[in-house]
Structure 1
Amino acid sequence: MKLKNFTDLNAWAVEQWGDAELGDTRRTQRAIAIGVAIAANPQGSLPDMMQGWNEIRAAYRLFAEDDVTHKALIQPHITETKQSATEIKSNVVLFIQDTTELDYTHHRQVKGLGHIGDGKGRGMMLHTCLAVVPLPLNPQILGLAGQIPWLRSQKKDNDNTLVEALPELLRTDGEGEIWAEMVESIGTAPTPQTGSIWVSVGDRGSDIFSYLRRAKALYWHCLVRVTQNRVITKPDATKGYLKAFARSLQPMAEKTVVLRGRNGEPKRQVNLQVAWSQLTIQPPAIGCERKQQPIDGWCIRCWEPEGDLEWILFTTVAVNAREDALMQLDWYATRWLIEEYHKCLKTGCAVEKRQLESASSLVRLLGFFAIVSVRLLQLRQLSRSNSQLKAHEYIPTIMLKVLVARLGLTNCELTLGEFFLAIARLGGFLGRKSDDLPGWQTLWRGWLRLQDMCWAADFITQSV
């Protein structure tokens, strides 16, 4: 995303929804206005976002229109992301996929939802794909490459009545097929001679033979975390099992990684052993895939010698040297961005707190939040890019003046790096020596505060 477009909400919203085909140009204009309102205050309720009762009613009418679908709302953004991925030459684009649950259990009035979790909760499933260029230290998020909301097969609720799930969101195929469907919805990948290498990255849920086969048919590469102990053909042409074979490999390299803290645990640095080998995975012995051809690839194992950490990955991208193995481990580590995206949806946009009357309206609203969440995540990327450039060349003058005045800064000629650190201070960043660079939540809190102050200053200036 261009920084100037980020600071101009109206221009940004036109880029996202200006080409949306919603059956009427007035609906498209309304979608742009709603996008601006949501991006300006993503955590607020709809009444908080809109400027009055007429605006709220217009938004609710839009969410009830049959032509206003989630797919139609996100399509311009999806098209732009695919175009950006296609234009990247001699490089790799990672398409990071994952599924999350949107929980509306406590909103009992919402009609058309399905079961989630252990079957006692109500909500919907959301499968998302982010396109990312894996640059060192600061991956470039191109945007949303695809998104599929769906519902699990219908079950009886606690009172023994059948849940009335929205029919068009119900999955008729197996849940695991959604990985291949996502790749097929994006389309055929460029060949290495004409463009970048597209690599679909997934966790254990993506270890599905049909997904690997269907992706390969479209010239995609796959990098998946192994969960199935598949039958393989080893380099010496003998048969074996993938996990046992990977664990039999002797260390061939070392890698130091910093693990992000989870569940209250602090981050920690670990030294990992790395090994790899070429192999061929055999099709399943039973099921519709049993007659398919084997798939050639490589396994990469990294593990903590005196700990529990272990990754066993299967990849179709060649691993010919130490650098190849370590690079693909970095690719897989980039998968955390999809988790951050889901956090942007649930925390930054409070998407699970929305209280509309039907699943269809929630899905339409998701057509806005899905893209605003990308914007939230890209703020951190922007804050770490081109930090030495002069801020006044990219940031509106009123923003710089208000920020300098609010924080009492002595230097008015800020660089972009200094500008975003100041934004983070507004969001509560302390900037101690032990602190990492600010994350998207801190930056976003500061950005919203500065945005409100600038609106107030601009209003006062124009009123005088």
Structure 2
Amino acid sequence: MKTQEVLDAKSWAEHTFGNVQLHDRRRTRRTIQAASNLAENPLGSLPAQMHDWKGTKALYRLLNEPDVTFAALMQPHVQQTREQAVSSPVMLLVQDTTDIDLSHRHKVSGTGQIGNERGRGFFVQTVLAVRPPTKEVLGCISQEPFARIRAPKGEQRHQRLKRQERETDVWMRQVGTIGTPEPGSTWVHVGDRGVDMFPFFLACQANQTHFLVRAAQNRRTEADEEEIKHSLDRARAFPSRQSRPLEVPARHGHKARSTQVQLAFGQMTLLPHAMSRKRATKP
């Protein structure tokens, strides 16, 4: 998308939602108008964004239509993002979870627990497509809202691990929804410490994509026939290949500071849990 289209709210709304499939052209026109108003005043309240109570009620009626779903509204944007992504030789697919706090909206139904036990709301899992050389964010290539289901009272850890469906499955679903890149393109799924898990690695491999994950687990690695070592210990022993300056902003009572990031890399073979236990007990 060109820069002037992003800056022009009306043009952006027409470009993004002009082909939305809502089974009625009047709904499409209302969607374009609402999106344009939202883009012009993103921090305003809904009545301020819609300019008057009539426009606000019209938006409520639109969103109450059975055909006007989250998936239907997002589909044109997701498709446009994907079309841009396939034109780049390397694309970062950055995934993370956002919590939407509705604790003060006591009459809203369909919410689940967020934060501590008293917080109520839902989560949105978002995957942004980013061009590495320019750091340009193309948009959402996949997005899924979901609510947390309360765990059964008294559930033990071993019971939780045996669940058929787990909350963390949302990470793998996004990888599967995005699928395989076009020939000649390299897609790299990027995640934080929460996605340091083998099902995510396997999902990326199954869809012929790479992954870059911040390590959280000091996993067992295969060193030789007689010895098991650990991933974080081995990674810290890799020799530094290059260093780069990094400005660390102030946060949580810590002052801003300048530091150096040491870049090091190497190869290792991670062992799944079952294999780790088997190899660790080998005589």
1:236 CA displacement? 9.0
2:4 alignment partner in structure 1: 4
The correspondence of residues 242-281 of structure 1 with structure 2, limited to 5 A, is: 242-263=231-252, 265-281=254-270
Q: Aligned partners of 2:77 and 2:224: how far apart in 1?
A: 44
Select the structure that is richer in helix.
1
Q: Which amino acid aligns with 1:129?
A: V
User: 1:87–1:195: 8 Å Cα contact kept in structure 2?
Assistant: no
The percentage of counterpart residues that share the same residue type is 38
**3-state SS, counterpart of residue 240 of structure 2:** coil
SS in 1 for 2:247: strand
- Structure 1 residue runs of 5 or longer lacking an equivalent are 157-170, 292-464
Aligned residue for 1:13, secondary structure, equals: helix
Q: Structure 1's 87 and 272: CA in aligned 2 closer, same or farther, altered over 3 A?
A: closer
Alpha-carbon displacement from aligned partner over 1:114-159 (angstroms, at most 9, x marks no partner): 1111221001111111100012xx5111111111111111369xxx
> Does the 8 A contact of 2:245 with 2:258 survive in 1?
yes
1:20 pairs with 2:43: no
Number of equivalenced pairs: 267
* Structure 2 residue aligned with 1:105: 103
Residues 59 and 255 of structure 1: is their aligned pair in 2 closer, same or farther, counting only changes over 3 Å? same
Rounded Cα–Cα distance in structure 1 between residues aligned with 2:118 and 2:49:
32
Q: Which residue of 2 aligns with 1:145?
A: 141
Cα distance change, pair 132–236 in 1 and its aligned pair in 2 (3 A): farther
What are the superposed Cα offsets for residues 51-83 of structure 1, whole Å, 9 maximum, x if unpaired?
A: 333322211101111211111111100000011
Distance between the aligned counterparts of 2:51 and 2:265, measured in 1?
A: 58
Equivalent residue, structure 1, for 2:186: 197
1:176 to 153, 168, 182: 168
Distance 1:35 1:253 in 2: 46
* Residue pairs, 1:383-422, within 5 angstroms: none
Distance in 1, Cα, partners of 2:253 & 2:34: 37
Code of the residue aligned with 2:34 in structure 1: it is: I
Aligned pair partner of 1:216 in 189, 200, 205: 205
Equivalent residue, structure 2, for 1:50: 50
Q: Secondary structure at the match of 2:246?
A: strand
Residue of structure 2 in register with 1:165 after alignment: none
Report the Cα distance in structure 2 between the residues aligned to 1:155 and 1:33, rounded to whole angstroms: 42
**Separation in 1 of the partners of 2:251 and 2:72?**
36
Identify the structure with the greater strand proportion: 2
* CA-CA distance at 1:285 after TM superposition: 1.5
Query: Aligned with 2:103: secondary structure?
Result: coil
Distance in 1 separating the partners of 2:215 and 2:258: 24
Per-residue Cα deviation, 1:371-409 (whole angstroms, up to 9, x for no partner):
xxxxxxxxxxxxxxxxxxxxxxxxxxxxxxxxxxxxxxx
Pick closer, same or farther for the CA change 1:75–1:257 going to 2, 3 Å. same
Instruction: Name the residue aligned to 1:305.
Output: none
Structure 2 Cα separation of the partners of residues 75 and 242 of structure 1: 40
Indicate if the aligned counterparts of 2:99 and 2:124 stay in contact, CA closer than 8 A: yes
* TM-score calculated relative to the size of structure 2: 0.86
Indicate yes or no: 2:121 matched with 1:123. Answer: yes
Residues 172 and 17 of structure 1: is their aligned pair in 2 closer, same or farther, counting only changes over 3 Å? farther
Preserved CA contact (<8 Å) 1:97 1:201? yes
CA displacement 1:312-333 (0-9 Å, x = unmatched): xxxxxxxxxxxxxxxxxxxxxx
* Segment of structure 1 superposing worse, 20-29 or 71-80: 20-29
Question: Which residue of structure 2 lines up, in the alignment, with residue 282 of structure 1?
Answer: 271
Counterpart residue identity of residue 168, structure 2: G
1:50 & 1:272 partners in 2: Cα distance?
47
- Structure 1 pair 230–142 and aligned structure 2 pair: CA distance change class (3 A): same
- The residue aligned with 1:186 is 178
Partner of 1:311: none
> Residues 6 and 253 of structure 1: is their aligned pair in 2 closer, same or farther, counting only changes over 3 Å?
closer
Corresponding residue of 2:155: none
Whether the aligned pair in 2 keeps the contact of 1:115 and 1:155 (CA below 8 Å) is: no
SS in 1 for 2:267: strand
SS of the aligned residue for 1:143 comes to strand
Amino acid corresponding to residue 128 of structure 1 in structure 2:
T
Q: Residue 96 of structure 1: SS of its match in structure 2?
A: strand
- CA 1:10/1:106 → structure 2, altered by over 3 Å: closer, same or farther? same
CA distance in 2, matches of 1:47, 1:172: 43
